[in-house]
Structure 1
């Protein structure tokens, strides 16, 4: 039992170390030696758990994908619906990109053209966004003349853009403040007039922590 627990801890350490290296360096420059050193284990121990760098990348992606799926489910279980669910989920995703290296590495790997067969988190996120917007539209939750596909394209361009800029340049791009301003601009154009006053652009209190950008007011 002790041996199994030690092996599980080593595997977890290797996945986290790989995520840190992939997030910092990218997939191609990363090496197994860099990852084993970051994890504090020997190359032999690494190869016992993972036969290749690609196997490690897949393990990171799988865990990141599970975390992203939990983000959307938790926001739904917290009671958010319609456009508010999209607002809350994007806030929670950006927060995860800021403080969870597994999620950050998963999205970094998604953008690597050298790995066409990997789990593409950006594609999975787009599918979720498109599905939710179709539901919103069918329930009358979009303004007249607003197409779900157009909203999905704008939302994907913004969130992926924030993710890339935040990972490589300035974390302000993935801050609650930046995303709140994005929703302040977007929601009046996409929501029915009677719904605008009920939507909270900075997200519900369950979708983020205590960092403040101002008073939490509806649009």
Structure 2
């Protein structure tokens, strides 16, 4: 009996988290009432509060777990993988509601009252892993600081996706990310590396 109960609890939590992500994505944190989330999830208030103490706790879970359903590479592999990864994220933001809602909450943290840098730090560290691998492979120019550039990349990606969202609901996001890399890469990659790198949105689509 214990295992079925545990599995049911996991499914219930996932249903609540998905419903919350959908509502946060559609309405924003402030307008996302708990009743809307409960109705979307098809669960009782008691079931929600068993897993999440408050709307703020639920918002924090969506924020922190935004990457939970992504198929990220297991090991860092340098600049080509980093480029492909960001293009893949561009496509995921078009279809993955948990990622999309998590990103929205990350941007709107002041409104949500969360003020949590954890998810930004996570993405900085994730991007830096590929940059560290690139440095070991001799792909970076000598003056490039991987930690510094990882932070710049997260900031640039965040701004690019926000502008794409406001302009056309992220329809052109992968193309905009490709354009971003076309300007960034000459400033960080060695000439030999730059010559063999491919900035192609189809490589990101292939990771879906």
TM interval, short-chain normalised: 0.7 to 0.9
Q: Distance in 1 between matches of 2:57 and 2:85?
A: 29
Q: Distance in 2 between matches of 1:131 and 1:4?
A: 35
**Which residue of structure 2 lines up, in the alignment, with residue 49 of structure 1?**
51
CA deviation after TM superposition for structure 1 residue 100, in Å: 0.7
**Which residue of structure 1 lines up, in the alignment, with residue 30 of structure 2?**
28
TM-score normalised over the length of structure 2: 0.79
CA deviation after TM superposition for structure 1 residue 48, in Å: 3.8
**Which residue of structure 1 lines up, in the alignment, with residue 149 of structure 2?**
151
Corresponding position: 1:140 with 2:138: yes
Q: Distance in 1 between matches of 2:7 and 2:207?
A: 35
CA, structure 1 residues 142+89, in 2 after alignment: closer, same or farther (shift >3 Å)? same
Q: Distance in 1 between matches of 2:171 and 2:149?
A: 20
**Which residue of structure 1 lines up, in the alignment, with residue 184 of structure 2?**
186
Counting only pairs closer than 5 Å after superposition, residues 109-120 of structure 1 correspond to structure 2 as 109-111=105-107, 112-113=109-110, 114-116=113-115, 118=116, 120=118
**Which residue of structure 1 lines up, in the alignment, with residue 72 of structure 2?**
71
**Which residue of structure 1 lines up, in the alignment, with residue 169 of structure 2?**
171
5+ long unaligned stretches in structure 1:
212-219
CA deviation after TM superposition for structure 1 residue 103, in Å: 1.0
TM-score normalised over the length of structure 1: 0.76
Superposed CA RMSD:
3.0
Q: Distance in 1 between matches of 2:117 and 2:143?
A: 34
**Which residue of structure 2 lines up, in the alignment, with residue 208 of structure 1?**
205
Q: Distance in 1 between matches of 2:27 and 2:36?
A: 10
Which residue, out of 14, 17, 23, partners 1:15? Answer: 17
Q: Distance in 2 between matches of 1:152 and 1:49?
A: 34
**Which residue of structure 2 lines up, in the alignment, with residue 124 of structure 1?**
122
CA, structure 1 residues 152+51, in 2 after alignment: closer, same or farther (shift >3 Å)? closer
Which structure has more relative contact order (CA 8 Å, sep 6+)? It is 2
5+ long unaligned stretches in structure 2:
none
SS in 2 for 1:201: coil
Q: Distance in 1 between matches of 2:198 and 2:77?
A: 12
Alignment: residue pair count: 203
Cα distance per residue 1:175-209 (max 9 Å; x no partner):
2222222222322332211222211101674x424
SS in 1 for 2:83: helix
SS in 1 for 2:81: helix
Corresponding position: 1:106 with 2:102: yes
